Amino acid sequence: MALPPLVEPAAELSIDEIRRYSRHLIIPDVGMDGQKRLKNAKVLVVGAGGLGSPALLYLAAAGVGTLGIVDFDTVDESNLQRQVIHGVSDVGRPKAESAAASIAEINPLVNVVIHNTALDRDNVKEIFSQYDLIVDGTDNFATRYMVNDAAVLLGKPYVWGSIYRFDGQASVFWEEHGPCYRCLYPEPPPPGMVPSCAEGGVLGVLCASIGSIQVNEAIKLITGIGEPLVGKLMVYDALEMEYRKIRVRKDPNCALCGDNPTVTDLLEDYEDFCGAVSDEAQEATLDATITARELKDWQDAGKDVFLVDVREPAEYEINRIPGSVLIPKGEILSGEALSRFPQDRQIVLHCKSGVRSAEALAAIKAAGFKDAVHVQGGIVSWVNTVDPSQPSY
């Protein structure tokens, strides 16, 4: 369905702008009015990587008046195979700054706003509120869910894209007019089931294919032309050179935008929700992971275990493993609670699913408690395999 233009047109175009955008101006559907809307638009691109690179270049070339870039990473040689906004001389440079310099070469008339920071629950709403439209070029599920949730809560439309090896997807999520990302993917995949681009690779040119689709959708939304991908998922197979369009309907049971939402604010920990752990945590868990059943066997055998629940107090009130003490992960990572850990007992950490306890385990081991372990699957596994009488959440 056609939608009204997202932004009002700017007052006028300068002579330089008329010369620059002449090929747009002679398209009847765009014309002077559409180009003025592009000039007046404020678009934030999340990530200056594979998808963000072509998106930023073409948004700038198209004449989007204000372009925001949020990225805290630096340019690495492995990026250059697909992240075409950066060059060899940019290696080691913050991506947001490198991207801004390239945009200035493409179109110095664009106002570039750099957010050289990690997007998180503390800043995402404040950053998003400054823009009309979000273009999501992220490459991990935790940030994707956070971008979606923040956009829905703020009433912002956003253009989403995803790439992996030879396959790409794109859609427009706008809760006011259609489904959100959670309608399509209510739950993240289990950790490790979907490899990242760093693990599985991506054909460099695929970024341009999907990134250009994202820009095309952004222009349509801003100017109010054509039929955007709201309620539709575009799937691209580069090997078969095949595009498919799949209808996506708004889910009345969606936890965020459904009839009775249960997610009414940003989650406390999206990494935990998506089951993602840091490299340090993954290393810490090697040969230091036990099952819930093994923990129960240790308890039954009378082993002297110091069992620590690293969740938050509200979660501890819902359910707990007998004999556990509550020491939230934050207090462990800050070092505040390290003095509470005994040197002469077997330390066992657990959380809800094993993500937070893995992060806490890395901190504990770094502090010298080399024999500490954590419970795989956390209290979810305990409830499922040891004590089903406990409530789950």
Into which CATH architecture does domain 279-386 fall? 3-Layer(aba) Sandwich (3.40)
pLDDT at residue 190 in the model: 60
Sign of CA dihedral 195, 200, 206, 208: positive
Domain boundaries, the chain: 15-274, 279-386
**Which uninterrupted H or E stretch holds 360?**
helix 355-366
Q: Which of 183, 254, 274, 351 is catalytic?
A: 351
Catalytic residue among 180, 197, 207, 257: 197
For domain 15-274, the CATH architecture is 3-Layer(aba) Sandwich (3.40)
DSSP 8-state symbol, 230 = B
Strands 133-136 and 42-46: parallel
Tokens encoding 182: 């959670």
Q: What is the pLDDT along the chain (393 residues), one digit of tens a residue?
A: 789 999 999 999 999 999 999 999 999 999 999 999 999 999 999 999 999 999 999 999 999 999 999 999 999 998 999 999 999 999 999 999 999 999 999 999 999 999 999 999 999 999 999 999 999 999 888 999 999 999 999 999 999 999 999 999 999 999 999 999 999 999 887 654 565 676 567 999 999 999 999 999 999 999 999 999 999 999 999 999 999 999 999 999 999 999 999 999 999 888 778 876 777 888 888 899 999 999 999 999 999 999 999 998 988 998 999 999 999 999 999 999 999 999 999 999 999 888 889 989 999 999 999 999 999 989 989 998 999 988 877
Q: What is the pLDDT of residue 271?
A: 78
Q: Report d(CA 231, CA 250) in Å as an integer.
A: 7
The whole-model pTM stands at: 0.74
Annotated catalytic, 351? yes
What are 309's strand-pairing partners?
A: 326, 350
